[in-house]
Amino acid sequence: MTVEQIEALLADVAAGRTTPPAALERLRHLPFEDLQFARIDHHRALRQGHPEVVFCEGKTPEQILAICERLEAASGTFLGTRASEAVATRLAARFPRVVWNQLARTVHLPAADQPKRVSQTDTILVISAGTSDLPVAEEAAVVAEVFGHPVERLVDVGVAGLHRLLVATEQMRRARAVIVVAGMEGALPSVVGGMVSAPVIAVPTSVGYGASFGGLAALLAMLNSCAAGVTVVNIDNGFGAAAAASRICRA
Amino acid sequence: MTVEQIEALLADVAAGRTTPPAALERLRHLPFEDLQFARIDHHRALRQGHPEVVFCEGKTPEQILAICERLEAASGTFLGTRASEAVATRLAARFPRVVWNQLARTVHLPAADQPKRVSQTDTILVISAGTSDLPVAEEAAVVAEVFGHPVERLVDVGVAGLHRLLVATEQMRRARAVIVVAGMEGALPSVVGGMVSAPVIAVPTSVGYGASFGGLAALLAMLNSCAAGVTVVNIDNGFGAAAAASRICRA
Amino acid sequence: MTVEQIEALLADVAAGRTTPPAALERLRHLPFEDLQFARIDHHRALRQGHPEVVFCEGKTPEQILAICERLEAASGTFLGTRASEAVATRLAARFPRVVWNQLARTVHLPAADQPKRVSQTDTILVISAGTSDLPVAEEAAVVAEVFGHPVERLVDVGVAGLHRLLVATEQMRRARAVIVVAGMEGALPSVVGGMVSAPVIAVPTSVGYGASFGGLAALLAMLNSCAAGVTVVNIDNGFGAAAAASRICRA
Amino acid sequence: MTVEQIEALLADVAAGRTTPPAALERLRHLPFEDLQFARIDHHRALRQGHPEVVFCEGKTPEQILAICERLEAASGTFLGTRASEAVATRLAARFPRVVWNQLARTVHLPAADQPKRVSQTDTILVISAGTSDLPVAEEAAVVAEVFGHPVERLVDVGVAGLHRLLVATEQMRRARAVIVVAGMEGALPSVVGGMVSAPVIAVPTSVGYGASFGGLAALLAMLNSCAAGVTVVNIDNGFGAAAAASRICRA
Amino acid sequence: MTVEQIEALLADVAAGRTTPPAALERLRHLPFEDLQFARIDHHRALRQGHPEVVFCEGKTPEQILAICERLEAASGTFLGTRASEAVATRLAARFPRVVWNQLARTVHLPAADQPKRVSQTDTILVISAGTSDLPVAEEAAVVAEVFGHPVERLVDVGVAGLHRLLVATEQMRRARAVIVVAGMEGALPSVVGGMVSAPVIAVPTSVGYGASFGGLAALLAMLNSCAAGVTVVNIDNGFGAAAAASRICRA
Amino acid sequence: MTVEQIEALLADVAAGRTTPPAALERLRHLPFEDLQFARIDHHRALRQGHPEVVFCEGKTPEQILAICERLEAASGTFLGTRASEAVATRLAARFPRVVWNQLARTVHLPAADQPKRVSQTDTILVISAGTSDLPVAEEAAVVAEVFGHPVERLVDVGVAGLHRLLVATEQMRRARAVIVVAGMEGALPSVVGGMVSAPVIAVPTSVGYGASFGGLAALLAMLNSCAAGVTVVNIDNGFGAAAAASRICRA
Amino acid sequence: MTVEQIEALLADVAAGRTTPPAALERLRHLPFEDLQFARIDHHRALRQGHPEVVFCEGKTPEQILAICERLEAASGTFLGTRASEAVATRLAARFPRVVWNQLARTVHLPAADQPKRVSQTDTILVISAGTSDLPVAEEAAVVAEVFGHPVERLVDVGVAGLHRLLVATEQMRRARAVIVVAGMEGALPSVVGGMVSAPVIAVPTSVGYGASFGGLAALLAMLNSCAAGVTVVNIDNGFGAAAAASRICRA
Amino acid sequence: MTVEQIEALLADVAAGRTTPPAALERLRHLPFEDLQFARIDHHRALRQGHPEVVFCEGKTPEQILAICERLEAASGTFLGTRASEAVATRLAARFPRVVWNQLARTVHLPAADQPKRVSQTDTILVISAGTSDLPVAEEAAVVAEVFGHPVERLVDVGVAGLHRLLVATEQMRRARAVIVVAGMEGALPSVVGGMVSAPVIAVPTSVGYGASFGGLAALLAMLNSCAAGVTVVNIDNGFGAAAAASRICRA
């Protein structure tokens, strides 16, 4: 039931075309959720300026194409994560302007008109511990950029060679939010968390073997960080970290 | 090596009392960390306006008293979490102004002069799912208040009775950061994350039994939240959630 | 906003005392959840005839007393689970009619007037594997009885002595729903599930030691039951099983 | 020993061709289970009107064909789950009327004569949280239909967008049994369980990555549901949920 | 239905008092399980010569006394495991002849007449790795003795001091069955399994700390033994090992 | 140090070519393990009459061929488990008499002369719960046969259809040792353990999905069996169960 | 067979009282393990100069006293770990010279004569991350000292405040072996491992809560250290780390 | 800031071109980490004489080639682990002198001039339990050799055939450090640890199936070793063990 429909109903009551009990009956069952639905959608259009994001893993190229066509029709843009080369190829055949970031595994159709930046100054810094963590870090970076944030990257600064991290102290302290991506022992967020006062979002990766148990070791380490105020997202969830950072920088 | 020592060394070089090569040798081995140490401390004093926080669990009342005396001497204030009644009693005998929050299990000695609020408008909202989650939620709330943030509370809004949550939609949307505390199936952060655009920090609690495995069920649920951008802290870590929210609201 | 308040508002619109836009504004922000809330409450009163259930574990006798007083004032009755002797004693001092089932660990204040039975014929059968499973089984049985269902019990019929179970075949086949409570290897629900066509609700218990891992072994076994259509609740959750059986028998 | 054999034996005793002690000896060792077996089979034929169900995963197309031929010969119909395209192709070559549901991964040979519906009114509602959960949800729906139940579907109603679920409140409340299929954090059954009084069967799926641990996160969440009376089946076990719902609706 | 009842029924058929169809009907529903039940009980009396065993943990002294009185009345003897001092004291007050083995935590009332030995030569050897494993090892030894088997013990022969084990090679090779009790890394059964050709039953114990996870480390090690043919029982299950060894030596 | 070397040393002492102290010194450091090694090998030849068993999984056909050639040269026979078709083909090209059991995944070269049976009467009974458990059950059966034991098989007797198991009661009671193979909930060994007095060796299989966690559910269930004296081997370890049964039947 | 017995045997051969074949026969079955046993003991006396170490947890004061008396009689000294105050009191009553380190939970009876230092220069450095890790760190330090090694301590240098660690760089680089004790996220060994070239032994502690799972998080982190060559001991195993460091420094 | 830059700055101070306060300001912000970085690199060149090691798994041949070219240019040598045949082929096409060890999965480009041995006498002994553990053991051996240590190997000495291990006692006792590689139950390090006084580094392997859980069983066993002072590295981490042994032998 839309606002217009409620207006019409109330007008009918005022005009005597509908009795109060009949109106009550309609309102009692009113699908307020439609209002809610519409409001939220509208909210998104106004506030966020970015499309829904498609998680491509486990979907066929045809399914992804169908979803992206619907998104493109509605908003003129779309973003997909965990996109294989097959998916990228299929989308590129239909949308020549689509951008495939092979490392980040993202597919993005930019809007025809340049989207407004959320901020020119609130930088999101994405730090990654090892080169194998780069796909997850790059996913975070690309998503944050598509969401309209300035992004900086700091790579290969594992805790076993601290000097590489320490030289970037000033860069870290300038960021409005810091995403720290690390596999194996997942120690980097604790170190970073002790060096900056900005929000630190830790992303454990499945990089490792044996007792890393697919990223569990890094996940547990990050949850137990001795640096107060470090928060954690799911293993390999670069997208989620970017979304969290975007919530922080958006307000 | 302190700033004063470096000044003296440079003065010696300027005065010709020390040759540049000799000064280089001393600087090459300079314990730069002392500078670093001092700088960080100073940073804290200027920026955060709140003392270090003492995790009291597993420490004796005497040990806690010793730490708090040192903190009080340095800053005129202290805050402890996971404080038992015995700890509170011991501290109160020494610091009559200490405030023990029995539910939150916090002990706090307020500074003599009222600390400046970080912000009057950036509210941190603490939502808890069940009454058994209250100690963790209250820990988060008290810590956030001590850190200088306006705090609101929303309690007993478990997902099995959604209407209680839905009525608070506007309150949720006003918050600058939302802390969601839940045990058992840990579903509340996903629902809240879908309703607000502010950062959502999920705190799993050990409330539950059997297959909750001490909070593991809630923790895993929150890490897998389908609401993009929800971040998670350790089980029962109300303090950590407050620290994360404070990082967000501080900038 | 209650139904009465909406009626009044609509009457105001019909009478011209409120304009349609003003009514729309009030309705737009209407706390529909209050309606929802009220409706649910009313629903409960009409349909279920039983009070909310208090999970006593982890609450103090004083807290439980406060909750039960509120429930008694609203409905004239209450039911609590996981109630210790201290809780029972505290409640009995205030409500002399309260019934404490020591084995089931339940406290129940029956309504002054005998509640209508949901059904005289749809029996819920509670089967338990070993004597140590009895507290959980009895919790299920007592809760089902309080919820208005005829209950039968079948005890000590572990799978290592099948004959004890087989003699009860007819009793099992008469039941409208069967709750099967077992610890250790949790095999009983599979056997029962193969013998009856009624719904089978399996309750793993924490009875066991070593590799039972607090009921995990039984839980996993029940989830992997080779008898099609066996469903499972949490470890030691006799209450949940009774609630599920009540949902089945209620329609 | 068949019923016919027992009849013959008793006739022999009545005719004096066998003495009572000799008959006792034969009966003492009678393979009563054959009677049992026959009775059960007969029971199935009378009561359930549906064939045994073949779990195809891990079997070769030839093995499945052999089993299905035996089932078809006995009952004129069969149903298989987890059927790949290779299996479907192999069966279709032999049974041209076979129906392969690619999404549900089921193969079904309908009986020549339309089976009687168990009920025209007791609807089983299958709700799924995300599009990736559809195969499991559809398996549940197809099996329930083959078992003779009216089925309704409600898809893509994840808890991070509650409005989509709330609009379907009435549909949910009409159902005799509700199957809720969800991966990731598995929160949907708790929300649904709080909205309906019908039995709710939760099906965790392996949809997710990282700390979903193949569906463990959703499984644990569902077992810890704060909505009283939600029961759970194994991860991805759409068939089991349908079988449980069928037990509920059958009586 | 007892044998006598079937005899009577058949006599009725022979005498024409019951028609074959009527008799068939009664036999079709015969509670064969009663026959089964009786047979099993009789079997036990003839074959095993030892009472049922009471698992005392988690039962009150009064409950245990009641069970033991019933066992004593039926068989003149009883055996209980995991018996605390309180249990032993309570039983001794009622049965002055009861024997409490404090280390093994067993209570035993020997039969008035000396039970026949199952064998004079088939020795069960109980080996334990460390002194902390002794309670479990002694439980196994006492149960095996009560079950009528000659028992030998070999203690404190951990794998980090192999020489202590190697000197006992001949003793190990004489045994008809070997029970190996070990906590921590649980390596002893592999070593013993490589030295003897008799059946080896491995008993992991919960002795250890940290990553022993309550005996899980030892359990997994034993399940992965590279010595072919080592079998395993539950953590701390000395009783089960003795029962298994008794099954081996009984034939 | 070989027997020949010790003989030579002693002859030297007897002949006065070596003094006793010098001989002692050499003997003190004697590599007694060589004696041990030789003795064990001889022991095997005399006692067991079967070759070492090759675990083929993870080895290349060439590696397996090399090992089998060495075994054939030494003993005229070999046995391999977990053998793929490629392995079988490679071995058959070299040893035309080799027997590949496709279901059991075994390769066996029988000795030219028929090996003596360990016993004609001590039967090993292999019971399997479902058809998917057959490969593991057949591995156990084939290995037991190669080791010289009479073997019987009982298949597809899952606990959800008990009648199929109950008709085989007598067959089960005749066995000297019973191997019970089951996946999913792993309940069958408990039922069998309650029906026979022979040793019961439980083999969990990885058959199942979701919360079976690769056989963990069945493994835990079997370790927690309420039937006293059931022992357990590793998941899918049919070979180990046969080896254990062989140890039991060998004495 | 003792050395004396072998001497006698060889003398018999030399004297012609025993033939070489007869002597061979006796030697073939010689209990070589007694030689082995004696040799090892002697080895210890010569090489290590320290008594066996008693793990006191789970033993009664009386048991510990008995063991220590035996050790004292043999060597004039003993060392116990995980000793409670009750244990210390009991030992002090018997051995007035015993030293109880309350923090390390050690009891030590020094030898009457000062033991030789293994080395004056090979220092073992014990680093601990937080004050709650001190008991484990101190256990390592005390054991290393009792074993004869110079020990240095570096405390409270958690990774969230790196500057505290960096100032100690030179001290770390001087050590011959470094023991790093940390709970929570267990990140410290990686950082230290990147700063020194000496062997680093990581000791996870059970310090933490929630998702630290009793030290599992720290354990996994340390096993996945990105600093090459860090090794790990069991959770809270300060003793084991000291023993490992002693093995390193001993050669 | 390089050493040259600091020299220039100090010269400016000495020459009066820069005042001490201005110099202090520049030094206060000096990127000391660059100094640190350079120092560490230099340190490596002087002390270790071996290149960084490339973990090839999960990298493409092209990526690995690029890294190796950079390493070769800097040091004239490189070493890679977990190298597939494709990687080896790609590197050999570019560096004809590269050595691929197929079993160890290593690729090594030796330096043109023979590197100095770290020691001629401090041998690292690599022991492996089964033939399937050889790849991990060989990785350890090759890495240790490349790092400049004399290496010995002892293979196929599983604990179920102890005599094979015992004959090598002297060889084991000669080693300066012992690496013990074992899968399945992981018992070998405990046995070895009891036989030698040198440092023992245990490497669990993922060899096994079922309840080995990818090496978890061996890992836990090794962490719980009853031989004091055994340390552990990650599952399958032969490289890490070699690095640890190298740290031990390097000093």
Chain segment G137-190, per-residue pLDDT in tens? 999 999 999 999 999 999 988 888 787 788 888 899 999 999 999 999 999 999
What is the average pLDDT value for chain G, to the nearest integer? 85
Are G6 and G39 contacting, i.e. CB atoms less than 8 angstroms apart? no
For residue H130, the chain E residue with the least C-alpha distance is: E226
Three-state DSSP string of D182-211? ECCCCCHHHHHHCCCCCCEEEEECCCCCHH
Chains in contact with B via at least 3 Cβ–Cβ pairs below 8 Å: A, C, D, G, H
Q: Which of E160, E151, E163, E168 is nearest to E185 (CA)?
A: E160
Are A48 and A75 contacting, i.e. CB atoms less than 8 angstroms apart? no
For residue G1, the chain E residue with the least C-alpha distance is: E167
E166 contacts in chain G (CB < 8 Å): 32-33, 36
Are A211 and G222 contacting, i.e. CB atoms less than 8 angstroms apart? no
CA distance F80 to E178: 28
Which of H13, H34, H37 has the most B C-beta neighbours within 10 Å, making it the best mutation to test the interface with B?
Answer: H13
Question: What is the reported pLDDT for E156?
Answer: 85
Which residue reads 């019934």 in tokens? C99
Is it the case that residue F23 has pLDDT exceeding 80?
A: no
User: In the numeric block, which tokens belong to residue G229?
Assistant: 């060559």
In terms of phi and psi (left: phi > 0; alpha: psi -120 to 50; beta: otherwise), the region of H108 is: beta
- Nearest-Cα distance to chain E for F224, in Å, is 6
Chains in contact with D via at least 3 Cβ–Cβ pairs below 8 Å: A, B, C, E, F
Phi, psi angles (nearest 5°) of residue E160: -75, -5
CA distance E53 to E108: 10
F132, F167, F212 member nearest D58 (Cβ) = F132
HSE, side-chain direction, 13 A CA sphere, residue A120: 0
Indicate yes or no: CB of E223 within 8 angstroms of CB of F232. yes
Element (H, E) at F205: none
Chains B, A in contact, 3 or more Cβ pairs below 8 Å = yes
Instruction: Label residue G63 exposed, middle or buried (CB < 10 Å: 0-12, 13-18, 19+).
Output: middle
Are H48 and G197 contacting, i.e. CB atoms less than 8 angstroms apart? yes
What is the average pLDDT value for chain A, to the nearest integer? 85
CA distance F234 to E190: 14
Among chain D, residues having any CB pair with chain A shorter than 8 Å are 131-132, 161-167, 170, 207, 209-212
Indicate yes or no: CB of G130 within 8 angstroms of CB of A208. no
Are E199 and F249 contacting, i.e. CB atoms less than 8 angstroms apart? no
B223-232, C29-38, C73-82, D41-50: range with lowest mean pLDDT: C29-38
Determine the 3-state secondary structure of G16 from DSSP: coil
User: In the numeric block, which tokens belong to residue G235?
Assistant: 């959770």
What's the whole-number mean pLDDT along residues H126-152? 94
End-to-end CA separation in angstroms for chain C: 30
A109-118, C237-246, H139-148: range with lowest mean pLDDT: A109-118
Is it the case that residue G115 has pLDDT exceeding 90?
A: no
User: In the numeric block, which tokens belong to residue F141?
Assistant: 């059966």
Question: What is the reported pLDDT for A37?
Answer: 29
CA distance F163 to F147: 32
For residue C37, the chain D residue with the least C-alpha distance is: D195
CA distance H78 to D67: 59
CA dihedral E94, E95, E100, E106 (to 10 degrees): -90
Which residue reads 């993202």 in tokens? A106
Which of E102, E209, E236 has the most G C-beta neighbours within 10 Å, making it the best mutation to test the interface with G?
Answer: E209
Are A167 and A222 contacting, i.e. CB atoms less than 8 angstroms apart? no
Residues in chain D: 251
Question: What is the reported pLDDT for B32?
Answer: 35
Is it the case that residue D86 has pLDDT exceeding 90?
A: yes
Starting at the earlier edge strand, list the strands of the sheet with A124-128.
A151-154, A124-128, A177-182, A200-204, A230-232, B230-232, B200-204, B177-182, B124-128, B151-154
Q: Which of B229, D133, B193, D183 is nearest to A53 (CA)?
A: B229
CA distance A184 to G225: 7
At residue E182's C-alpha, the angle toward residues E176 and E187, to 5°, is 90
D140-149, E167-176, G81-90: range with lowest mean pLDDT: E167-176
Question: What is the reported pLDDT for F17?
Answer: 86
Question: What is the reported pLDDT for E40?
Answer: 31
Chains in contact with F via at least 3 Cβ–Cβ pairs below 8 Å: C, D, E, G, H
What's the whole-number mean pLDDT along residues G43-66? 71
At residue D154's C-alpha, the angle toward residues D148 and D159, to 5°, is 140
Question: What is the reported pLDDT for G3?
Answer: 54
CA distance B25 to B2: 16
At residue D15's C-alpha, the angle toward residues D11 and D16, to 5°, is 115
Question: What is the reported pLDDT for A251?
Answer: 58
Are E130 and E156 contacting, i.e. CB atoms less than 8 angstroms apart? yes
Is it the case that residue H226 has pLDDT exceeding 80?
A: yes
Phi, psi angles (nearest 5°) of residue B11: -60, -40
Higher pLDDT pick, G208 / C20: G208
Indicate yes or no: CB of H223 within 8 angstroms of CB of E211. yes
User: In the numeric block, which tokens belong to residue G206?
Assistant: 């059970």
CA H242 to chain centroid: 5
Among chain G, residues having any CB pair with chain B shorter than 8 Å are 131-132, 161-167, 170, 207, 209-212
CA distance E218 to E205: 7
DSSP B33: H
CA distance H151 to H120: 10
Chains E, C in contact, 3 or more Cβ pairs below 8 Å = yes
User: In the numeric block, which tokens belong to residue A178?
Assistant: 């810091």
- What percent of chain A has pLDDT above 90? 59
Phi, psi angles (nearest 5°) of residue D17: -75, -20
Which residue reads 């095993």 in tokens? E48
Is it the case that residue B213 has pLDDT exceeding 70?
A: yes
Determine the 3-state secondary structure of G51 from DSSP: coil
Indicate yes or no: CB of A224 within 8 angstroms of CB of B234. yes
Q: pLDDT tens digit string along E121-150?
A: 899 999 999 888 999 999 999 999 999 999
Q: Name residue E181's beta-bridge partners.
A: E128, E203
End-to-end CA separation in angstroms for chain D: 31
- What percent of chain F has pLDDT above 90? 58
CA distance D44 to D68: 17
Q: pLDDT category, D158, cuts 50, 70, 90? A: confident
DSSP A80: E
What's the whole-number mean pLDDT along residues B86-105? 96
Q: Which of E130, E129, E132, E87 is nearest to E109 (CA)?
A: E87
Is it the case that residue B171 has pLDDT exceeding 80?
A: yes
CA distance C227 to F29: 64
- Nearest-Cα distance to chain G for H17, in Å, is 32
In terms of phi and psi (left: phi > 0; alpha: psi -120 to 50; beta: otherwise), the region of B211 is: alpha
Phi, psi angles (nearest 5°) of residue D125: -105, 125
- How many CB pairs lie under 8 A apart between chains C and D? 82
Residues in chain A: 251
Determine the 3-state secondary structure of C200 from DSSP: strand
Element (H, E) at F146: helix F134-146
Element (H, E) at G49: none
Element (H, E) at E160: none
Q: pLDDT tens digit string along B142-154?
A: 999 999 999 999 9
Which amino acid, G248?
A: I
Indicate yes or no: CB of D185 within 8 angstroms of CB of B226. yes
Q: pLDDT category, C28, cuts 50, 70, 90? A: low
Tell me the DSSP string of A107-123. Answer: EEE--SSPPPPS-SS-P
User: In the numeric block, which tokens belong to residue F124?
Assistant: 């090993």
- How many CB pairs lie under 8 A apart between chains B and G? 44
Give chain G's count of helices (H) and strands (E): 11, 9
Cβ neighbours of residue F57 under 8 Å, at least 6 residues apart? F82, H209
A92-122 exposure pattern, b = at least 16 Cβ within 10 A, e = fewer: eeebeebbbbeebbbbbbebeeeeeebeeeb
CA distance H74 to H70: 6
Which of E55, E63, E136 has the most C C-beta neighbours within 10 Å, making it the best mutation to test the interface with C?
Answer: E55
Chains in contact with G via at least 3 Cβ–Cβ pairs below 8 Å: A, B, E, F, H
Inter-axis angle of helices B216-223 and D216-223, to 10 degrees? 130
Three-state DSSP string of F8-72? HHHHHHHCCCCCHHHHHHHHHCCCHHHHHHHHHHHHHHHHCCCCCEEECCCCCHHHHHHHHHHHH
